[in-house]
A and B are shown apart, each in its own frame.
Chain A
């Protein structure tokens, strides 16, 4: 059993009637994901690709016993849609949009914690349990089933990693896009306990980058609580200070907070294998096997 999404996931798609929502619902269905309903306020009663659409998350949950939602809504509407899902009691809320205001995430991050909801993203490709189900827009053909769990702040670095893994004969248990924003719904330390408990995960890869202190916090947590081998990559070692590198969260402050050096140092000190590049992750994986 994969811990976030699996064959028994009953997924709803918020924003299913939009262009992106419809396109990726088709992709998720093609991957045999159990998409049970869609939600678009005002479009209740219609159907998209044979999937029934409702006006509210509550109704979709009530009629289909849905347990996960993925939000294909523009950043302007992310707050409202995620708020509805959290307050409706949805246990797992996966957000995708890039460009969500940070003050919106400030509220949602803490609201989700308070309500005991797992909030993933935004600025994320979503979550995939290869061969079982996906909730998001990731290029699923790159992924393959296996025993390596991945959490990544970057989609492209994750793609590169799973592509190289496939070539080398490695696969993944669960892959989570924690996203590139300054305040994500879930951070590395929120997800590490689940990877540690997950029977299908034997190795953990953490793809981090400059900015913030999530990797440092993860290092402290790993030291006390994680027995599985962890491999980490920190992107952005040579990025200029004070410049956001595209991801809103990928910025080293002028006084040096959030630097790659600080993260690599903290991780190395607790025995995490720090990779120099995506290719280097494969070398380390081979050594651990």
Chain B
């Protein structure tokens, strides 16, 4: 789960990573309450789960109350890379001598943490890698979950970091690494890590992505999960323990299946046959007819969906439960076309129930056969 900057700032605070203190506002009324108490000039920053907000005008500065309200309101109305700005984070404006980059993330190849540092920050890391590769260090941290000081010293020397910044930087590294390990991070990033005119290091931005599977260890963050999910269908599906994934706006086909691999394969086959999948829903294992009914309702009500391909390979999932769910949902699906492939546990019982149903439903035997039938239906 990618945290918004102000939430990530709370994580940083827990590890005593030096940064500015800020306030949060989600409406003009809240801005009005904050306005008189600000120590101007201040920075107003859009809180969105995407990069490039600076370029999009999502970070602005205000010198007085009037400017604060004008600009704050403007940013609150923005949409940046498809993300609606619902909150702004207000921080004192800081004078910047220079900007650096520091992060810890997971290297999938070695299955180890990696520290990435550049004394030239402020822009996207890929840009640094392209323009100044000699100013970028990627250091793998070997097994044992300990960040030894010599790794940090090596990174500092390699990139030519000024001696007077070294002690502070060492502390920053250790603290950010502690946050990365302690908070189950996929990514903990400071960009920019600034040097102010007094030579003090400060985290001016905070980016934290926490492993969804470890959120139970961080109960203070768990409640934000729904708030961080902008798609209402995804939220509703999650409340039933389904995984709903929007694929693309183009196309009218939805897939319901019982496993991640099968879903990917089904999308691949349909796409190969020049059709478009707009969304998918993963039932997981062992879905009951009541839950299948809810899954069908959720998918059928999604915009653009006119055909649902139910592709089930039942191990712990029983085909008769799937058929029972289809039976229960049939009356409420409107014009939605159903194409159903059942294989595995209790296939016969499932099929005999489906065959007795009336409505816009077609039964197919096999995945390839199902996709071929889908082609006929969609073109018809």
A positions within 8 Å CB-CB of B: 75-76, 99-104, 106-107, 109-111, 114, 125, 137-139, 142, 152-160, 163, 180, 182-183, 207, 209-213, 217, 233, 235-240, 243, 245-248, 250, 255, 258, 276-279
- A213-B108, A213-B109, A237-B271 known; A154 and B248 CB under 8 Å? no
Interface string of B248-278 (1 = CB under 8 A from A): 1000000001111111110111011000010
Q: State A216–B277 Cα separation when bound (angstroms).
A: 28
- A133–B173 alpha-carbon span in the complex (Å): 49
Nearest B residue to A99 by beta-carbon distance? B213
Interface size class of B (residues with CB under 8 A): 35 or more
> Is there an interface contact between A248 and B269, defined as CB atoms closer than 8 Å?
no
Q: List B contacts of A137 (CB < 8 A).
A: 315-316
Q: Is B186 an interface residue when CB atoms closer than 8 A count as contact?
A: yes
Task: Pick the 3 closest A-B CB pairs, nearest first.
Answer: A154-B261, A246-B260, A156-B259
Besides A157-B259, A277-B272, 12 more A-B contacts (Cβ < 8 Å) are: A102-B184, A103-B211, A155-B259, A155-B261, A159-B315, A160-B262, A183-B111, A210-B264, A212-B109, A246-B282, A247-B260, A276-B268
Q: Which residues of chain B have a CB within 8 Å of any CB of chain A?
A: 106, 108-109, 111-113, 126, 143, 145, 181, 184, 186, 211-214, 216-217, 243, 245, 247-248, 257-265, 267-269, 271-272, 277, 282, 313-316, 343-345, 367-368
**Pairs A–B under 8 Å by Cβ, sample size 22:** A101-B184, A101-B214, A102-B186, A102-B211, A103-B214, A104-B214, A106-B111, A106-B112, A137-B316, A153-B261, A156-B259, A156-B260, A159-B315, A160-B313, A160-B367, A163-B313, A180-B261, A183-B111, A213-B109, A237-B271, A239-B267, A250-B260
Minimum CB distance partner of A184 in chain B = B111
Rounded to whole angstroms, the CA-CA distance of A125 and B314 in the bound complex is 14
Instruction: Report B-chain residues with C-beta under 8 Å of the C-beta of A236.
Output: 264, 267-268
* Min CB gap B129→A, angstroms: 10
Across the two chains, which residue of chain A brings its CB closest to B265? A235
Q: Are A238 and B368 in contact (CB under 8 A)?
A: no
Q: Are B245 and A101 in contact (CB under 8 A)?
A: no
Q: Are B264 and A250 neighbours in the complex by a CB distance under 8 Å?
A: yes
B247 engages A75 (CB within 8 Å): no
Cβ contact within 8 Å between A182 and B343: no
Q: Is the CB of A277 within 8 A of B214?
A: no
Most buried by B among A103, A235, A248, A278: A103
| Neighbouring B residues of A217 by C-beta, 8 Å | 109
Say which residue of B258, B261, B271 sits within 8 Å of A207 (CB atoms).
B261
Chain B residues with CB under 8 Å of A114's CB are: 143
CB-defined contacts of A163 to chain B, threshold 8 Å: 313, 343
- Which residues of chain B come closer than 8 Å to A235, judged between CB atoms? 261, 264-265, 268
**Residues from chain A with Cβ under 8 Å of B368 in the complex:** 277, 279
Are the C-beta atoms of B213 and A75 separated by less than 8 Å? yes
CB < 8 Å neighbour of A102 from B106, B264, B268: B106
Q: In the bound complex, how far is the Cα of B343 from the Cα of A235, in angstroms?
A: 20
Q: Residues of A contacting B267 with CB < 8 Å?
A: 236, 238-239
Query: In the bound complex, how far is the Cα of B315 from the Cα of A239, in angstroms?
Result: 25
B184 touches A159 (CB 8 A): no
CB of A254, distance to nearest CB on chain B (Å): 9
By a CB distance below 8 angstroms, the chain A residues around B262 are 154, 156-157, 160
CA distance A153 to B259 in the complex (A): 12
- Find B214's partner among A102, A180, A213 (CB 8 Å cutoff): A102
Q: Which residue of A lies closest to B270 (CB)?
A: A238
Least distance between A86 CB and chain B CB atoms (Å): 13
List A contacts of B282 (CB < 8 A): 246
Kindly list chain B residues whose C-beta atoms are within 8 Å of the C-beta of A237.
Answer: 268, 271
Residues on B with C-beta less than 8 A from A152 are 261
CA distance A163 to B106 in the complex (A): 36
